[in-house]
Amino acid sequence: MHTTVLYMKDSYLRATSATIAEIGTEGSTTTVVLDQTVMYAQGGGQPSDRGMIRGKNGLLSVSHVSYNGGAIKHLGKLTGELHVGETVEVEVDWNVRYRNMQMHTAGHIVDLAIKHVAPEATAVDGVHGIGKKLHIEYSTLIEPRLLQTIQKETTALIEKNLPIHLEMVTRQQLDEKRIPLPFDLPKNKELRIMSIGDSTPMPDGGTQLHTTGESWPIIVTDIVRNNGHTFVQYTMQEPVKNVLKQKDERAMSESSLNIDDLAQSIEREAQHDVKVLSADQFQTTYLAKKGKLSHLMDELKTVSLEEKKSAGQRANALKHTLEALLLTYDSQKKNSEVIDMTIPGIQPKVGHVHPISQAMHEITRIFEKIGFIRVRYPEVDWEWYPFDSLNMPKDHPARDEWETFLVQSDYVHPILGKMVLTPHTSNGQVREMQRLHSTPPIRMINIARCYRRQADVTHTEMFHQFEGLVVDKGITIQHLKGTIDHFAREFYGPHATSRIRPFHFQFTEPSFEVDFSCSICDGTGKLNGDKCRFCKSGWHEVGGAGMVHPNVLKAGGIDPEQYTGFAFGWGIERTYTLREGLKLDDIRLLYSGDMRFLEQF
Ligand code: FA5
């Protein structure tokens, strides 16, 4: 038996009719072989598809698809009945497919980028979604110092939005076209070749995007050499601006998946299973995090807006049915148990959001209102991002000021250096430029934990900063001061005052320190005739700011002749404790875990 694989010619085909050729079982799993399918069978480093096979009286929820020498086997849980010879509807889970396709094409994009940089490199294997680390394996050695150049090439290939061509050829045509075969391929069957733009075609059987521009930003994370082979690792980062768009598109996608069918089949199975499973097993199978109800809830995300309401109601009804079935275990138990109704109940403790998290939400909201995008960057980072990319050479004395915690490891990245706990959120500056492919406008607000070896009434070893970065044409200090004033008014109230004082940071020129007036002594510096213990001067320094140094723009691939920018980085604890009405004179209390203190906010 040989199944015709429709995705070879059209990776965007989501559904087809087909005829069942074989049905079998493997343990509790049902296996179905069809005459043709749209589902991708696992192989070539790309995971298998998932989906549905729907017959007149049965539904196979396909959780895995395997190749088996050409007879493609769909494995899954059968509800109802399916029969050999029956015509069925086959539908692929499009969200899973599209993501797999992106990971797979991303591998080819990185491979092409590598060929531009190291033409002798020969790819022999790849992992594009099976297992956690995405990588391509080369039988040749590739210099780790090429990582940044490969990254640039990869980004350029995505930006060029090149078409991806697919073509079916015979082995003979392959030989005539002189297409090199990196590994052995079957001689007697038609093969598919793919090429990106006008690159040399190569044999490939996976699903492919239409253009490189459909890929998410690819980050080449590492080049690791082992036994003469090189493993180039990459990840994909979802662009923030795409998240909302994709959510909408997903909701709009006319997934014909019928929530009603699925809910009905789960309900039927549950009615049966409640008689045979233990309460724990029932709970795990149906109501736990990875249970069937949760699977159905995931599917809800794919239904169209019009269907959403009724699908949601159906899912809710299923939830109640399952919970009611679970309760039947309790009532059976209760019949044989004595319950002491006189035992006093346990009063549940009701918590609330930590004051610093509250401040983070508020700060995010204030900046989002003026067009900033909230991002998060790693708190455990390569030292290149918090230091070198910010114009601080390895031996620069300024690096000592940050009293950084180093992560103990024998591995030092050839370009990015050691791993550190980031001492400031400025590590996000060049990361954000890279995320946006060095293309302003940039309006970032990065809020994250930072770490320094400091502890006194105004310092903690772990603290939070929020970092603003704006890069565009014609950005000046006036924009910076305007943004600071906007924040002061929104966060501290309409009368709050701010000032900037000249200062020095390696990564801004000119640089400033930013102060807000002290709320304990109302900016006078005096309290009951003495010096205010909290501020000593009437002002509180909250952090630094300045115009982004040209070398930082260059590190992020941005031309400083065309663009300018400003940045600021302030401590959240410091900023928050200045707030009117919060006369807190030791910020360590925030992390003391003392409920008597925390309950006040
Ligand atoms: C910086 O960290 C710079 N990255 C700020 C910056 C960003 C300047 C962008 C220019 C452009 P500084 O070391 O001064 O600067 O720290 C900024 C603020 O973080 C401090 O003013 C303080 O509010 C807070 N902060 C620093 N260390 C601690 C600590 N140990 N505990 C609590 N807050 C801290």
Among the residue ranges 65-69, 240-244, 322-326, 580-584, the one predicted with the least confidence is: 240-244
454, part of any domain: yes
Query: 526 pLDDT band (50/70/90 cuts)?
Result: confident
Domain that holds residue 287: 257-336
**Which residue did the predictor score with more confidence, 578 or 352?**
352
Structure tokens at 234: 């990459």
Q: Is the pLDDT of residue 412 over 60?
A: yes
298: left (phi over 0), alpha (psi -120 to 50) or beta: alpha
pLDDT tens per residue across span 81-93 = 999 999 999 999 8
Ligand 1 nearest-atom number relative to CA 424: 2
**Which residue did the predictor score with more confidence, 251 or 394?**
394
Structural contact between residues 468 and 372, judged by C-beta atoms closer than 8 angstroms: yes
For residue 112, give the H/E element and its range.
Answer: helix 94-117
What is the Å distance from ligand 1's center to 514 Cα? 10
Count of the separate structural domains present in the chain: 4
Which residue's CA is minimally distant from atom 25 of ligand 1? 571
Helix and strand totals (H; E) in the chain? 15, 27
What is the Å distance from ligand 1's center to 564 Cα? 22
What is the Å distance from ligand 1's center to 462 Cα? 12
Which residue's CA is minimally distant from atom 12 of ligand 1? 543
Residues 47 and 142 in one domain: no
Query: 41 pLDDT band (50/70/90 cuts)?
Result: very high
Ligand 1 nearest-atom number relative to CA 566: 11
* Percent of the chain's residues with pLDDT above 70: 92
Q: How far is CA 445 from CA 371, 496, 512, in A?
A: 10, 22, 19
34-55 core/surface letters (b: 16 or more CB in 10 A; e: else): bebbbbbbbebbbbbbbbbbbb
Which residue's CA is minimally distant from atom 14 of ligand 1? 543
For residue 401, give the H/E element and its range.
Answer: helix 398-401
Residues 10 and 65 in one domain: yes
Final residue in a domain of this structure, among 236, 265, 292: 236
What is the Å distance from ligand 1's center to 34 Cα? 63
Residues 69 and 43 in one domain: yes
**Which residue did the predictor score with more confidence, 276 or 548?**
548
Q: What average pLDDT does range 145-154 have in this prediction?
A: 90
Structural contact between residues 23 and 82, judged by C-beta atoms closer than 8 angstroms: yes
Ligand 1 nearest-atom number relative to CA 426: 4
**Which residue did the predictor score with more confidence, 468 or 528?**
468
- Round to whole Å and give the CA distance between 317 and 302: 19
pLDDT at site 448: 96
Residues 428 and 577 in one domain: yes
Residue keyed to tokens 């090199």: 180
Residues 107 and 83 in one domain: no
Q: What average pLDDT does range 348-369 have in this prediction?
A: 92
Query: 595 pLDDT band (50/70/90 cuts)?
Result: confident
Residues 56 and 145 in one domain: no
556-567 core/surface letters (b: 16 or more CB in 10 A; e: else): bbbeeeebbbbb
pLDDT at site 246: 53
CATH number of the domain where residue 64 is located: 2.40.30.130
350, part of any domain: no
pLDDT at site 184: 59
Q: How far is CA 122 from CA 180, 230, 404, in A?
A: 10, 10, 41
**Ligand 1: which of 457, 459, 465 to mutate, judged by most atoms within 8 Å of the beta carbon?**
465
Residues 465 and 543 in one domain: yes
Average pLDDT score, the chain: 87
What is the Å distance from ligand 1's center to 576 Cα? 14
Q: Is the omega angle on the peptide bond into residue 510 within 30 degrees of 0, that is, cis?
A: yes
406, part of any domain: no
Any residues with CB less than 8 A from the CB of 390 and at least 6 apart, and which? 426, 429, 430, 506, 507, 549, 552, 555
CA angle 85, 89, 90 (to 5 degrees): 105
Cβ < 6 A, ligand 1 pocket: 424, 426, 452, 454, 459-460, 463, 465, 467, 505, 508, 511, 541-546, 567-571, 573-574
What is residue 261's three-state secondary structure?
helix
pLDDT tens per residue across span 185-218 = 566 667 888 899 998 888 888 899 999 998 888 8
Residues 443 and 583 in one domain: yes
Structural contact between residues 94 and 84, judged by C-beta atoms closer than 8 angstroms: no
Query: 360 pLDDT band (50/70/90 cuts)?
Result: very high
Structure tokens at 25: 């079982």
What is the Å distance from ligand 1's center to 60 Cα? 57
**Ligand 1: which of 463, 553, 568, 587 to mutate, judged by most atoms within 8 Å of the beta carbon?**
463
Q: Is the pLDDT of residue 497 over 50?
A: yes
Q: What average pLDDT does range 245-270 have in this prediction?
A: 66
- Residue from 225, 94, 210, 91 nearest 147 by CA: 225
- Round to whole Å and give the CA distance between 585 and 535: 9
Query: 253 pLDDT band (50/70/90 cuts)?
Result: very low
CATH number of the domain where residue 146 is located: 3.30.980.10
| Global model pTM greater than 0.85 | no
- Residue from 50, 472, 83, 581 nearest 302 by CA: 50
Residues 131 and 47 in one domain: no
Which residue's CA is minimally distant from atom 20 of ligand 1? 543
pLDDT tens per residue across span 152-179 = 999 999 999 999 999 888 877 777 777 7
Which residue's CA is minimally distant from atom 8 of ligand 1? 544
- How much is the CA Rg of the chain, to the nearest whole Å? 30
Q: Is the pLDDT of residue 555 over 60?
A: yes
Q: Is the pLDDT of residue 70 over 80?
A: yes
Residues 180 and 277 in one domain: no
Q: Is the pLDDT of residue 252 over 50?
A: no
Which residue's CA is minimally distant from atom 31 of ligand 1? 459
Structural contact between residues 233 and 134, judged by C-beta atoms closer than 8 angstroms: yes
Which residue's CA is minimally distant from atom 17 of ligand 1? 543
Query: 258 pLDDT band (50/70/90 cuts)?
Result: confident
Structural contact between residues 421 and 404, judged by C-beta atoms closer than 8 angstroms: yes
